[in-house]
Amino acid sequence: MSGRLAYPLNVLALYALSVVLGVAFYDQFVNGALPCPLCILQRAGFVAVGAGLVLNVMRGPAARHYGLMILGALAGGAVALRQVALHVVPGTGAYGPPFFGYHFYTWAFIVFVAVILGSAVMLAAFREGAEGARRTGFATLAVALFFVMALANGVSTLAECGTSLCPDDPSSYEGYEALMDFMGGQN
């Protein structure tokens, strides 16, 4: 596969990951569903995959970048599979409402598997030394959007968990509340 075809596919995949993280944010802030620790780590897996895509978009497709994407998808997929296994037995409940028939962690596992399959196909069809396409504004916007998503997730996680590990069943933005308490105590 030439760099000219790989390039738009990487850009589109980066937009798709921004949509995935956007849907998670919508559920968090509009539906008021605080993400659990495993949910947060699945988002971290998406950020790792997206950072690999950014490398492909900005520096041209390379085997090393696809390798990083696969490693990120394996890490995120392991977290998602753990959460699926926690709730797979009938009567063990679920975390959050279903979304188009599946819970978010099941969707996350499906997306991570798709990333691994997609990367494998790109690696198999990838021609070493193929020239990358010229960078477009559409691609720069994809990178900027994903950067904002990664940063926003970091800030949101800091607000929810503070500087330590998250509680298993979070009920409030503990980090934000601790900061407000600290600032209130200073006055």
Report the interface residues with another protein, using CB under 8 A. Answer: 37-38, 40-41, 43-45, 47-48, 50-52, 54-55, 58-59, 64-65, 68, 71-72, 75-76, 78-79, 82, 85-86, 88-89, 92, 143-144, 146-147, 150-151, 153-155, 157-158, 160-161, 163-166, 168
Which of residues 3 and 50 has its CB atom nearest to another protein in the complex?
A: 50
Q: Of 84, 15, 73, nearest to 45 (Cα)?
A: 73
CA distances from 155 to 37, 87, 135, 159, 166 (A): 15, 28, 29, 6, 14
Using CB atoms within 10 A of its CB, is residue 35 exposed (0-12), middle (13-18) or buried (19+)? buried
Which of residues 79 and 107 has its CB atom nearest to another protein in the complex?
A: 79
Which of residues 147 and 186 has its CB atom nearest to another protein in the complex?
A: 147
Which of residues 107 and 161 has its CB atom nearest to another protein in the complex?
A: 161
Query: Using CA atoms, how far apart are residues 97 and 28, in angstroms rounded to an integer?
Result: 12
Q: Least CB distance from residue 100 to another protein, whole Å?
A: 26
Residue 187, token pair as written in the block: 């006055």
| Coil, strand or helix at 102 | strand
Which of residues 100 and 134 has its CB atom nearest to another protein in the complex?
A: 134
Q: Least CB distance from residue 136 to another protein, whole Å?
A: 14
CA distances from 134 to 5, 112, 119 (A): 12, 28, 21
Q: Least CB distance from residue 187 to another protein, whole Å?
A: 27
Q: Least CB distance from residue 7 to another protein, whole Å?
A: 15
Q: Least CB distance from residue 147 to another protein, whole Å?
A: 5
Which of residues 85 and 125 has its CB atom nearest to another protein in the complex?
A: 85
For tokens 């494998």, what's the residue? 120
Q: Least CB distance from residue 5 to another protein, whole Å?
A: 21
Query: Using CA atoms, how far apart are residues 11 and 141, in angstroms rounded to an integer?
Result: 9
